[in-house]
Structure formats: C-alpha cells, structure tokens
Chains A and B, each alone.
Chain A
C-alpha cells in the first residue's frame, strides 16, 4: 500500500485482494471503453488523427518536420530564458523584501529610548508607516492576476516613455508577482525558525542585521528550497502568458505554426507534453529535495521545525500562478 492510502486501509487480506483485482479489471475495461468512445472516436470522426495533421510534428521524413521543431526549439529556448531571468530577479528582490519586512517589523517594536521624545515618536511612526506600506505592496501585487501585471507593464511602460523588448516586459511582470511570493515564502521560513536562534545570535553579540544574514536567511533558504523549486514550475508555466504581449515563447510559436499548418489540437498536444515533462521532473526534484531535507533534519537531532503555513506551501506548490 502506498503511503497516502495507509491511513484508510489495512493491509488487504486474500478476500480483499480478490475484490480489488476484480474491480480493477472492471474499472480498467470501463476506462478503456470510455477512452475509445469519448476520446478516440470523436477525434477520428473529425479526421484529427490523420497523418496530414500529425506528420509535421512526429514524422521525421515529413518536409516540414525539421522546420517545425526548429521553431518549437527556439520557442522553448525563449521560454527557458524568460523563466531563468525572472526567477533570478525574483529571488534577489524577494530576499531583499523578506529581509526588509523582517527588519521593519523588529524596528516597529523598538522604542528608541534615549532620543529626544519627538524624534523617537517620529522614528516609530516612520517605521510603522514603512512596515504598513510594504504590507500593502505585498497584498496588492499578490492579489493581482499575473496576466494583468504583465499586461499593465507592457501597456504602461511605453506610456511613460520606456520602450523595452517584449522579453523585458514579461520578465518585469513575472518578477513583480514572484518576488512578492518568494519574499513571503522566505519570511515565513524565517519566522518559523525556533525563537531561540535569534536570541542566541543576539547573545553572542550579533546585530539583528547580522543574525538575519548569517543565521536566519540561510536556514530559511534551506527549509524553503522545495517550495522555491516548485515556484520555478509556476514561473515556467507563467511565461506562457508572454503570448499576450507577443513575446516569441513556445505557445506563441505554436500559434504561428498553427497559422501555417492548421492543426491546433496536434500542436497543443505536443506543447502540453513538453511542458508536462519538464514541470513534472521539476516537481519530482522538489519532492526529492524535500525528502532529503527531512531526513537530514531527523539525523541531525534538531527539534522539528514548525512546518510552513499551509496556505503558503500550497501556493508554492503551484496554485499561485497560471
């Protein structure tokens, strides 16, 4: 029995195994028949399985084959470029944002004793204001659809006289959203650490900034590594929004191919398979890293850290994006 079902079942006995076997065969047959009538037949009736439509995509001897795959390769390269740049930019910005929010939060608790009273009040007010401001920014940029962020960037920047390549509009749009998400992931990672760590750091004379940089942040990265890898899947999927601003990524190229060859279903099947293979391997990697981290933690004998908030984790598992 696999892990997730062990809660609900006992190890099956001979009778249960026989029942399972019989119902498996029945269910398998029903699924096959269903697939034949619901998927194969409609496709075949409309001639969607003909070699004319599939040939350019799967038949190397087809005259269009190499050209089509050259284009898809180019599109996929563009997708990867955009995703890589966006993830690097959002990692940097997200780290800065997380550190900023942590620092601001600790500043608002400070009373600034020993300063002139008006100055102390001013500083307290300022730090509270800044803290609230970053909070509002996070809520706004997290609450907006990524599509619109990208669209607004591409429409808005030229309005203010800033003309960039489509690639940069896409990257900026993706970075705005993902840096906020990554920032929140890292922040919750830091806040989930046992409180004693920051106290110990303070006891050996590290400043709050130093303890964040040397103690909290590295651990937050480590705990959140699986979530960060999953976020990569989100970014990779989100780059497909580039077609809205006519950046030449995989989907946009697919659209061009369809314009010439007129085989939408086939091209999208191929593109979907491409995405699924890459993203599936990435999420497997994330799971593997998570397992390794869990093992490492157990053997090191450290107390179990607070698991990150469920909402954040599930967001990091890919619901946050398109």
Chain B
C-alpha cells in the first residue's frame, strides 16, 4: 500500500468522527481494521485530530492488547491461553505452532505470511485447546496432527 493511499484512508476514517477524546479507541480500532496495524503517522494524525499530545495516543494504544504497531501477517494465528485451553494442553499447541511456522510467539514471519500470538480467552472453552485464524475461523480440539494439517505449507522443516 503506498503512503499516499494510507494517508487518504486515515483521513477518510477521521472524517467520520467529531474529534472528541472519547473517540480515541474507536478511531484507533477502525484504523487498525483498515491498515492492519497502527502506524506512527496514523497515530500522529489521530493526535492532531482529537487535539491531544501524541504521547497520549501512544499511551492509550499501548495499554490495550488489541493494538499492534507493526504490520501483521496474512494469516494471523492466535493461540488461546484461557484456563480451559491451558489444562487441555495449549502450551504444547503453541510449542508445535512455533516450530511449524518457524517463528516465536509475538513474531511475524519475514515473508509476512504468518503472525503468531498468544491471546486471552476466546471463549470457546468447550473446544479447548483452540486457535483462531484472522479472528474469524476458530479451530478447536486441536492435536499435533490437526495443527500439521492446518498448516501444510509450513510443514515440518519447511522453514
């Protein structure tokens, strides 16, 4: 995405708001949804728009787990670390995913194909251990075999 295009998009988003402080979180959410992450420029534009110091936007954004400051991979893999998943072996699933995708928790692969994150409970406890891909598809009752089937391209030794 070229820079000019990004700027336009952020501007379009800001135009939907009144510029009040209480709108900071919804604005940042919408920007992230559009761009995939919060760029420095986008946060600066938000700060100017709601007339608060840049540091305040950054302070708010970094407080919440939802916000990211780097581009995210095309496949955003989120491993649930809720209690039910924990007692049914979520740690092992994370281990296997780290090896399978060749990245550590919190990292994005160099080709921007995968981002791997551990997240708070996704509320699918009956399906534990579970992961979500791109916050849409939920895959539950995972076993090492099922994980391997989910990511055939990144299979063992593929990285």
Partners in one complex: no
